[in-house]
């Protein structure tokens, strides 16, 4: 039967395209396949160009990396410069003696000079790490009447925090009215830090104020300066940690995160790590170089009042839960120390294994990392005597609260005799403590005997809310106010709000 459909008739025949390609152009010569080849070649060219650009970028990055100085290179450069300065100072001393000496003696002198520099560097390293303690307490001379505290910087309201730079040349202070001053230790000339507007604060990371507040509170409780002197950190009632540039005195960052007022701050020595303690019972860790949050430490059952840190990643804190806690950050563990029948108010490191604290019963305690209780206690360290009419007349209702303060009984339960601040000269055996009883006491720390020995009383009217001893041990800075740092449970109108300095003469 014949197929009527002409299309199906040619179905058995070979396709036209196949026939044309065979009769006309071959597959290799077909322009359709040539386009594909060209396309693949073009793509290969693109990839090769991208690879060349990446290689150029890598070479540029390598050049930039080679140009930028690494941290290790910077340390080596600073160390070499320091050694050169020591050599120059030693050469200047021996210049006059070497003029008339032979070459052999000069070579011997150079060898002695190098060995002396090695000893100096080793001694400084041991002092920085806390393995050797400088003996300064025995060299401090008794201050005379004309060598009393001098007001270096004035504030309108009570000073809540003071801090010194590592070179002992600059100081920083803050008060309850939100004023931050940056001043020179020798001249006392100060410059004020200006708070930015609310819009700038929000752009720097600050969150909107919580509760009924319409703007951020400027009341400051704590200050801390980085080891290189580049950053200043402040914290207070607005629950933020604020970061400032000390060179330009400008606000550069606000760290939110705390749910309560920031009560204390400290930098880890030689690093950019910042620790902040708060009324929300936590300690937060920040990196100021990266402007980043790192971690949160928990442990206290009440508000944290004071914090301190040395080179090791260990943080010492005191809270209103009557405990002092040592956080070991890398190990994620902590040690808890408790004082007998008193609430601790302040603390600081003596070295990595010893601490000093002050409590609300007027006692000063010496602690060791090996014991959970104080190794030595000085009771009534800042006793409030009835003979001191200037202070006793300011106590409400005409009587001394919570204790008998007659000269024959040195009880110290009054708010005016609370040990509100303690400080230690880093790497030495001298310490100081302050209260509201009208004097600051210097102490000699005797680690071998586990003893604290009183040296001198330095008269100063007012609540001593913050203390800092110079690294050289040649002066003491005190932040004084008419009111305590964290409240208004006492007032001394005769006090002057400001920063006072006491020069110490060393024999």
Q: pLDDT digit string (tens) for 56-110?
A: 555 554 444 445 667 667 667 777 777 777 777 666 666 655 555 556 666 666 6
CA 365 – CA 354 distance, rounded (Å): 11
How many whole angstroms separate alpha carbon 315 and alpha carbon 283? Answer: 9
Query: What is the rounded average pLDDT of the residues 169-192?
Result: 92
Distance CA 273, CA 280 (A): 20
Q: What is the pLDDT of residues 202-256, one digit of tens each?
A: 999 888 776 555 566 789 999 999 998 999 999 999 999 999 999 999 999 999 9
Residue percentage of the chain with pLDDT more than 70:
70
Q: Is 327 helix (H, G, I), strand (E, B) or coil?
A: strand
List 153's β-bridge partners, or say none: 499
Three-class secondary structure of residue 59 per DSSP: helix
Q: What pLDDT, on the 0 to 100 scale, is given for residue 100?
A: 52
User: For 261-290, what is the mean pLDDT?
Assistant: 95
- The confidence score (pLDDT) of residue 476 equals 94
Residue 380's pLDDT is what?
A: 87
pLDDT of 331 higher than 60: yes
- The CA distance from 26 to 231, in Å, is 77
**Cβ distance 204 to 221 under 8 Å?**
no
Q: What tokens appear for 417 in the block?
A: 């005799």
Query: At 46, which helix (H) or strand (E)?
Result: helix 31-67
Q: What average pLDDT does this structure show over 138-160?
A: 86
* More confident site: 57 or 165: 165
Q: Is the pLDDT of residue 480 over 90?
A: yes
Q: What is the pLDDT of residues 295-304, one digit of tens each?
A: 999 999 999 9
* Interatomic CA distance for residues 133 and 353, integer angstroms: 13
The three-class DSSP label of residue 112 is helix
Q: How far is CA 219 from CA 95, 238, 258, 343, in A?
A: 56, 8, 16, 25
Does the structure show a pLDDT above 70 at 432?
yes
Q: How far apart are CA 330 and CA 129, in angstroms?
A: 18
pLDDT digits (tens, 9 = 90+) for 264-276: 999 999 899 999 9
- For residue 64, the model assigns a pLDDT of 41
Q: What pLDDT band is residue 402 in, cutting at 50, 70 and 90? A: very low
Helix or strand run (H / E) with residue 411: none
Strands in 159-164's sheet, in edge-to-edge order, are 159-164, 170-175, 180-184, 190-192
Out of 50-64, 148-162, 183-197, 258-272, pick the least confident.
50-64
| 343: confidence class by pLDDT, cuts 50, 70, 90 | confident
Among 16-30, 225-239, 423-437, whose mean pLDDT is lowest?
A: 16-30
Is it the case that residue 11 has pLDDT exceeding 90?
no
Rounded to 5 degrees, φ, ψ at 283 are: -115, 125
Cα 76 to Cα 444: distance, rounded to the nearest angstrom:
37
Q: Please report the pLDDT score of residue 101 as a whole number.
A: 54
Q: Who's near 445: CB < 8 A, 6+ residues apart?
A: 137, 350, 354, 356, 366, 424, 429, 430, 431, 452
Query: What integer pLDDT is reported at residue 130 of this predicted model?
Result: 56
Residue 388 has pLDDT above 70, yes or no: no
User: What pLDDT is stored for residue 61 in this prediction?
Assistant: 46
Cβ partners under 8 Å of residue 264, min gap 6: 221, 222, 235, 276, 277, 304, 305, 306, 307, 317
CA distance 251 to 218: 13
Residue 29's pLDDT band (cuts 50, 70, 90): low
Sort 461 into a burial class: Cβ within 10 Å, 0-12 / 13-18 / 19+: buried
pLDDT of residue 450: 82
* C-alpha distances in Å from residue 42, one per residue of 52, 53, 124, 180: 15, 17, 67, 65
Question: pLDDT tier at 396 (50, 70, 90 boundaries)?
Answer: very low
Q: Above 50 in pLDDT, residue 386?
A: no
Of the candidate ranges 3-12, 66-75, 399-408, 468-477, the one whose mean pLDDT is the lowest? 399-408
Cα separations in angstroms, 23 against 16, 32, 269, 310, 499: 10, 16, 88, 91, 105
Q: How far apart are the first and last CA of the chain?
A: 134
pLDDT of the residue at 31: 54
Q: What percent of the chain has pLDDT over 90?
A: 45
Q: Measure CA 279 to chain center.
A: 19
- Overall average pLDDT of the 18-45 stretch: 48
Structure tokens at 86: 């020591």
Quick check: 223 and 163 in contact, CB under 8 A?
Answer: yes
Q: Residue 285: what pLDDT?
A: 97
Is pLDDT of 20 > 90?
Answer: no
Whether the CB-CB separation of 457 and 468 falls below 8 Å is answered with: no
pLDDT, residue 356, reads: 94
Return the minimum-mean-pLDDT range out of 121-125, 331-335, 388-392, 487-491.
Answer: 388-392
Angle at 158 between CA 155 and CA 163, to 5 degrees: 75
Per-residue model confidence (pLDDT) at position 79: 73
Cβ–Cβ under 8 Å, residues 479 and 172: no
- Is residue 276 classed as helix, strand or coil in its secondary structure? strand
Q: In whole numbers, what is the pLDDT of the chain averaged over residues?
A: 79
pLDDT at 56: 53
* pLDDT of 394 strictly over 50: no
Residues 6+ apart with CB under 8 A from 335: 325, 326, 328, 369, 372
Q: Say if CB 460 and CB 478 are below 8 A apart.
A: yes
Of 58 and 321, the one with more pLDDT: 321
At 250 the pLDDT is 93
pLDDT beyond 70 at 359: yes
pLDDT of residue 462: 92
Domains of the chain by start residue, with CATH: 137-382+418-503 (2.130.10.10), 383-416 (no CATH)
**E strand residue ranges, 127-272:** 150-154, 159-164, 170-175, 180-184, 190-192, 220-225, 231-236, 241-245, 250-255, 262-267
- What gap in Å lies between CA 504 and CA 114, rounded to an integer? 33
pLDDT at 443: 94
Are the CB atoms for 190 and 231 separated by under 8 Å?
no
């Amino acid at each position: 039967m014949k197929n009527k459909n002409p299309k199906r008739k040619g179905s058995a025949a070979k396709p036209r395209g196949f026939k044309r390609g065979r009769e006309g152009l071959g597959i290799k010569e077909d322009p359709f396949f040539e386009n594909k080849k060209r396309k693949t070649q073009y793509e290969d060219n693109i990839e090769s160009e991208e690879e060349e650009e990446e290689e150029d970028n890598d070479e540029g990055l390598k050049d930039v990396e080679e140009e930028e100085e690494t941290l290790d290179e910077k340390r080596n450069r600073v160390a070499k410069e320091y050694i050169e300065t020591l050599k120059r100072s030693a050469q200047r001393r021996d210049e006059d003696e070497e003029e008339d000496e032979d070459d052999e003696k000069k070579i011997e002198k150079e060898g002695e000079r190098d060995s002396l520099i090695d000893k100096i560097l080793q001694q400084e390293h041991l002092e920085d790490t806390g393995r050797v303690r400088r003996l300064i307490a025995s060299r401090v001379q008794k201050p005379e009447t004309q060598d009393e505290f001098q007001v270096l910087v004035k504030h309108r309201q009570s000073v809540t925090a003071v801090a010194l730079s590592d070179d002992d040349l600059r100081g920083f202070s803050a008060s309850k009215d939100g004023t931050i001053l940056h001043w020179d230790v020798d001249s006392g000339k100060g410059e004020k830090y200006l708070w930015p507007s609310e819009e700038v604060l929000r752009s720097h990371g600050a969150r909107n104020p919580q509760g009924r507040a319409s703007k951020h509170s400027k009341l400051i409780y704590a200050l801390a300066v980085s080891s290189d002197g580049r950053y200043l950190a402040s914290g207070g009632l607005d629950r933020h940690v604020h970061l400032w540039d000390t060179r330009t005195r400008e606000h550069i960052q606000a760290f939110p995160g705390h749910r309560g007022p920031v009560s204390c701050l400290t930098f880890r020595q030689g690093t950019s790590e910042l620790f902040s303690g708060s009324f929300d019972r936590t300690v937060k860790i920040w990196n100021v170089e990266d402007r980043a949050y790192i971690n949160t430490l928990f442990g206290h059952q009440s508000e944290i009042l004071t914090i301190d840190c040395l080179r090791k990643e260990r943080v010492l804190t005191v809270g209103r839960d009557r405990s002092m806690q040592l956080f070991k950050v890398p190990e994620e563990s902590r040690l808890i120390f408790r004082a007998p029948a008193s609430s601790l108010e302040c603390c600081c490191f003596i070295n990595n294994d010893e601490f000093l604290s002050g409590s609300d019963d007027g006692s000063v305690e010496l602690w060791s990392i090996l014991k959970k209780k104080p190794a030595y206690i000085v009771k009534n360290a800042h006793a409030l005597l009835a003979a001191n009419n200037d202070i006793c007349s300011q106590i409400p209702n005409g009587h001394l609260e919570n204790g008998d303060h007659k000269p024959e009984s040195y009880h110290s339960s009054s708010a005016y005799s609370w040990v509100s601040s303690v400080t230690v000269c880093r790497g030495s055996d001298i310490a100081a403590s302050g209260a509201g009883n009208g004097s600051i006491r210097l102490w000699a720390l005797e680690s071998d005997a586990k003893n604290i020995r009183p040296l001198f009383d330095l008269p100063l009217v007012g609540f001593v809310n913050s203390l800092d001893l110079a690294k050289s041990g040649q002066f003491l800075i005190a932040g004084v106010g008419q009111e305590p740092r964290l409240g208004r449970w006492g007032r001394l109108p005769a006090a002057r709000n400001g920063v006072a300095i006491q020069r110490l003469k060393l024999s």
